[in-house]
Amino acid sequence: MKRSLSHRLEKGDLLPALLILPALLLVFCIIIIPMCYGLIVSLFDYNLGDTLSAENFVGLGNYIRAFQDRTVWKALLNTLLFAVGCIAGDLFFGTVIAILLYRLRESVSRILRPFVIMPLLVAPVVASLMWSYFFDANGIIYWLLEFVGVTYADFPGISGTGTALLCCIIVHWWQSVPFVVIVLTAGLLSISNDLYEAAQCDGINLIQTLWHITLPLLKSVYITIFLITGVDTIKSLDIIYALTKGGPNNASMTLNLYAYQQAFSYVDMSYSMALAIITMVVALVCCGLPYVRYTMRKSEEGSV
C-alpha cells in the first residue's frame, strides 16, 4: 500500500489532489459547514440563546411562512429587478467605456483608466452615503436636473416609492462598471489585431466589426461577468441598506435585506436562515445553472 502510494506520488497522479486539498478544506470549513448549519437552523424555531431540540423542530414551517409572507414576494420582485437593472447597466456602460478607452490613443487611455477605476476603490457603504447627499433635495443631482426641467417632485429619488430602487441601481452602476471595464479591457486586448485589419480591408464599418467580431469573441468574458455581477446583485445588502434601508414602504426591500432585518431587528434567526437559503436558491437558479450549462456546452463543443 505504501509502495503504491509513493509510486503514484512519484508519477504525479496524486500531486494535483494534494495541492488542492488545503483549498478544499478551507472551502469546506468556511462555506459548506456554515451553509449546512444554516439549513438545519431554518428547520427549527430558533432564536439567539435557544438550543436546537426536538421541541423546536418545525420542519418546513419557516419556508411555508415565507411563501405566505407578502413582503417576501415584494422583496423577491425587487431583488430580480435590481439584479436585471444592475447587470444590464453594467454590461452596457462597461462595454461602451471599455471600447472607447480601447479606441483612444494609448497615451490618453493610460491617463483615463486610473480615473475610471477609482469608484471601485470606494467602500459600498461610503459610496451609498455619498450618493445619499447627491440625491438630497438640495443636492447636486437636482441642481443638474433643473437645467432640463426636472424637479424633485418629478423625480423624488430615494424618497419615492417608484424611484428608490432605481437610485440603488445607479449607485451600483457607479461602483461596479469599473470592474466590468477592467475585465472587458483585458478581453479586448486578447483579440488579435489581424482580425480588425482584415475587416477593415473588407470594408466593414465600426458597428459591423463590433457586432460580428468583438462581441462574439467576448462571449465567454460576458458570461463570467454575468455570473459574478448576478450573484453580487442578488445577495447585495450594503448599498441598499446604507441608501434606503429597504424603504420607503418596502419599495427597495430585497431578500437579503429582509433576511438581515429578521435576524437583527426581530431576532428571528430561523426565519432569517430560511430567507437566506431561498436567496441562495434564487442566485443558483438565475446565475449558477446558466453558467454551468454554458460551460458544459462549451466543453462538449471543444471535445467534438
Q: What pLDDT score was predicted for residue 73?
A: 95
Residue numbers of the chain with a pLDDT score lower than 70: 1-14, 49, 302-304
CATH number listed for the domain at residues 69-303: 1.10.3720.10
Q: What pLDDT score was predicted for residue 197?
A: 78
The segment(s) of the chain belonging to CATH 1.10.3720.10 are 69-303
Q: What pLDDT score was predicted for residue 196?
A: 79
CA 275 to chain centre: 18
Q: What pLDDT score was predicted for residue 151?
A: 84
Q: Are 36 and 52 in contact (CB under 8 A)?
A: no
Please state whether the predicted TM-score (pTM) of the whole model is above 0.85: yes
Rounded to 5°, angle at Cα 283 from 280 and 285 = 110
Q: What pLDDT score was predicted for residue 63?
A: 93
The answer for residues whose C-beta is within 8 angstroms of residue 259's C-beta and 6 or more apart is 272, 273, 275, 276, 279
